[in-house]
Homo-oligomer: A and B are copies of this chain.
Amino acid sequence: MEKFYEASKAEGPIDFINVFDLEEAAKTVIPTGGYGYINSGAGDIFTYRENERAFNHKLIIPHVLKDVELPDTTTEFAGDKLTAPIIMAPVAAHGLANVAAEEASAKGVATFGTIYTASSYASRTLEEIRAAGGADAPQWFQFYMSKDDGINRDILDMAKRNGAKAIVLTADATVGGNRETDRRNGFTFPLAMPIVQAYQSGIGQTMDAVYGSSKQKLSPKDVEFIAKYSELPVYVKGVQSEEDVERALGSGANGIWVSNHGGRQLDGGPASFDSLQYVAEAVNGRAPIVFDSGVRRGQHIFKAIASGADLVAIGRPAIYGLALGGATGVIQVFEFFKRELEMVMQLAGAQTVEDIKKTKLRENNYC
């Protein structure tokens, strides 16, 4: 591990064509350990790779003569008008990427005009994140529970105090996946985790130690507890099957978040996009669905929405933008996805986000 961790201080416009450019450039400005932590996946990175490949399992048929012009990506969600159905995924420790950390990313996301999900393991306090986004910006709070319910109440109070509109319970990371890049790099977090400082300082800790300090034994009762105590909508994150949909909704969850943690947790499992169709069928309109893992293109967002997602979250690409351009970089990344989504909508004959939802993708029989 680097002794003195020097994150990027960049702020300003980035020159890039696509997200893969960002990934490559980010590698040059983020210290090795931090980049490895952000970029890499679990085990043989089979599931990690499947996440991207899986989008080719369904094909968008270009449609013509559909009377479409200047497609509209805006969407209303839970009372908020979003610039696009693209939101910020919870990602730990933005300070690894940029010294401006969550203050820059929250500001960028708010400027773009969408939901920001603050991670429990953020490098900034929720007060700072709220202030950076501004009072009107929709923010959600991603929760890694403590083993101590007193601490959990305190953290939930903090989230409410800072205007969180929903609590996202990450349930697929009760232990760390076998992220071998971190082990090869000897990576430990160089930065504090102020939000959860009551149970975890963060500094000098491995990812495994951090996860180990949080609650492993998650159950439907935890969803009930959070919902009841916070009186906020609860999203269960990490759902990939009918069974888990029922367990989550049955315990009072208000939303389902399909994810495999970006391929960082259980290797040898399905691509998140492949799981989406199972989940969407099971949910069957009973709750909103958020989707993440593997999104690198506007066409991926289109495919996810056409497969049942209401919102699509992006993680790594935004963090690369943060590393390379601070708040401005984050905005650019969201604009990139919006621009590609608009192009896809035009070519696929979808004027609105509702039109995307009605779009039928074609199964790819040859992959």
Contact = CB atoms under 8 A, between A and B. Distances in A.
Nearest to A174: B346
A347 to B, nearest CB: 4
Residue of A65, A248, A297 with most partner-chain B CB within 10 A: A65
A78 interface: no
Interface in A2-40: 17-18
A56 B270 CA distance: 9
A72 interface: no
A222 B65 CA distance: 8
Contacts of A175: 343, 346-347
Contacts of A57: 365-366
Contacts of A171: 64-65
A222 to B, nearest CB: 7
A178 B274 contact: no
A68 B299 contact: no
A59 B268 contact: yes
Given A175-B346, A367-B366, A56 B46 contact: yes
A148 to B, nearest CB: 15
Contacts of A289: none
Contacts of A63: 241, 243-244
Nearest to A223: B65
Contacts of A50: 366
A155 interface: no
Given A346-B216, A347-B177, A366-B274, A64 B268 contact: no
Residue of A57, A64, A217, A274 with most partner-chain B CB within 10 A: A64
A269 interface: yes
A136 interface: no
Given A17-B180, A44-B297, A69-B216, A62 B240 contact: yes
B297 A61 contact: no
Contacts of A216: 68-70, 346
A240 B67 CA distance: 17
Contacts of A239: 64
A42 to B, nearest CB: 9
Contact of A55 (B18, B55, B268): B268
Contact of A219 (B53, B67, B269): B67
Nearest to A302: B268
Contact of A64 (B59, B236, B299): B236
A265 B362 contact: no
Given A43-B297, A267-B299, A299-B43, A61 B218 contact: no
Nearest to A176: B343
Contacts of A184: 17
A171 B343 CA distance: 14
Interface in A62-106: 62-70
A159 interface: no
Interface of A: 17-18, 43-44, 46, 50, 53-57, 59-70, 171-172, 174-178, 180, 183-184, 216-220, 222-223, 236, 238-241, 243-244, 247-248, 251, 260, 265-270, 274-275, 297-300, 302-303, 340, 343-344, 346-348, 362, 364-367
